[in-house]
Amino acid sequence: MKPPFRQALGIIRQLKQHGYEAYFVGGAVRDLLIGRPIGDVDIATSARPEEVMAIFPKTIDVGSKHGTVVVVHEGTAYEVTTFRTDGDYEDYRRPESVTFVRSLEEDLKRRDFTMNAIAMDENGTVIDPFAGREAIARRLIRTVGKAEERFREDALRMMRAIRFVSQLGFSLAPETKQAVIDNAPLLAHISVERMTMEMEKLLAGPFAGEALSLLAETGLCAYLPGLVGKEEGVRRAAACRWGWLTAREERWALLCRALGITESRPFLRAWKLPNKVVDETGAILSALEAVPHSDEWTNERLFLAGLKRALSVETVRAAYTGTPPDSSHDELRRRFAALPIKTKAELAVSGKEVIQWIGKPAGPWVKETLYAIWRAVVNGEVENEKERIHAWLTERNRTQGNGC
């Protein structure tokens, strides 16, 4: 048994010693069967939450009402969830109630996709009542039971299905895909925050292009923030090289570029993204606009952008055009390394010194003067030394005759 499961065996064994059933479930089992890296290991058990908390000395009640308790075992936290069935769903988002049961199969039956409705016991034996392994072998995403029922229970499952396309490179089973098309309007009941989480995972997946095509093909994009009427833009986005991107902000910038969005802030805020992401994405797009081609980086533009952002700009440009970014990245690194200063903080003079030299009260002119100084330094017109800058500034003011 692989290490992530081996480390959690103590929980399974203790539950069984107390007379309860316990199994590994969910994404970790799925990824083991697919051959992907295994993330968090989750456990399902016939023990009730209060029984789990009575067995283990260190637990955290993160949702006992819905059956979930975190057990800290040998320094690692594991979610342990009681077998349960869900009651009727409210507003296509959440069950109004849950009922704890003693049956593993009843618990697996409530899950979204057959590949996620697989369990494994302590000996590595797989329990697969809904043919999840067959779906994995056929690289299909198929719902447990009728797709329409699963999507009407929680409409976000439609986005999850397409997100798994992006992450795994699987296809939607025909009946699952048709149910997405038929039930796409139900996505309107889902909170923006939940949709954003799925969208970000989708954009980061190795098969993001295929997933974006499905968003347009199924009509799901019409119910996502800012994408109404943007099907063609989503298809353009699908043709981009998403695998070349490494940063969250780069992915949102590429999506905006493909959609033809020039004012990114309202679009990004509609997704309720953090201000830091909104600001940096906007800065990347602004730099793309200011530098239409990779060979048009001036020293000033490179200095203002900084190396990290400049590289992001070229990565987004490359992903959009399909031209590998390696050569432009190498050139930007070389040129940035050659700049006499890399940040404004490295300037050899301060605003206070400029005021002393000119002998005028502080005002907007100080910022303007510092701007002129760093431009001159970056462009090689004057060395970044206090005395030389003083002399350059004195001569500049003399020839301009403005006293500042």
- In sequence order, what are the beta bridge partners of 140? 171
Walking along the chain (404 residues) 10 residues at a time, the average pLDDT comes out as 89 97 96 93 96 96 92 95 80 70 94 97 96 98 96 96 98 98 96 97 98 97 96 97 97 98 96 98 96 94 97 97 92 96 96 93 95 96 96 90 58
Residue 256's pLDDT is what? 98
Residue 404's pLDDT is what? 55
Q: What is the pTM of this model?
A: 0.91
Residue 398's pLDDT is what? 85
